[in-house]
Amino acid sequence: MQIPRRVSIVLFGDFELLDAFGPVQLFSRVPEEFSITLVGPTAGPVRSRQGTHVTADTSYADAETPDIALVPGGIGTRGLVADPSFLSWLGTWARPASLVTSVCTGSALLAAAGLLEGYRATSNKRAFDWASSHGDNVTWVREARWVVDRDRWTSSGVTAGMDMTHALIADQLGADAAAEASASIEYEPHTDPDADPFARVSRDA
């Protein structure tokens, strides 16, 4: 990866704000190491699930290959898993990245785009049955806060994306850098990827 590492976050209509901006908050604490680009259907405003509009820096068509691709979840994933044009773009764009990551039901999009074939992965436990119905050769892990399998990092629901990002920063920069990033925002991360207090939740949401 080049320095700073290019982190590109995929936005789409009805994405979940914290899925995207929890990781952004942590990456932004180390600006000399990570640069962040928001990628949307077009450059300009994208409406989140919460109604807040976020400005994408660039369009899908113009987005450069990142070092780290991050796909959030949200109710908007429900339609995109059946959108051939989006899935074709996502698969082509994200595959060359050094790391392909997701938060919540973003892993369903990775799976539908063929980016999790032969990998272990997890997703939001309230939508686990739905998310895990995508992909042909994905080993879905129900009980996990986040899962790392080689160059794929997937996390459970919403706030788990911050735990995954903390772990990713530790992997890239060392434990001290990750600890300082989390301390600077007064955030106490879960550090055990297998400790998932929400795994017993099975209803779809």
pLDDT score of 132 more than 80: yes
pLDDT score of 162 more than 90: yes
Structure-token match 């209803």, residue found: 203
Average pLDDT over residues 51-80: 98
**Three-state SS at 149:** strand
pLDDT (0 to 100) of residue 199: 87
Q: Where are the beta strands (DSSP E) in 51-156?
A: 53-56, 58-59, 68-71, 99-102, 120-121, 139-140, 146-149, 152-155
Domain ranges of the chain: 5-183
Cα angle 199-200-205, degrees, rounded to a multiple of 5: 80
Q: How confident is the model at residue 200 (pLDDT cuts 50, 70, 90)?
A: confident
- Distance (Å, whole) CA 2 – CA 6: 8
pLDDT (0 to 100) of residue 201: 66
pTM: 0.96
CATH 3.40.50.880 fits 5-183, yes or no: yes
pLDDT score of 145 more than 80: yes
- Distance (Å, whole) CA 4 – CA 134: 33
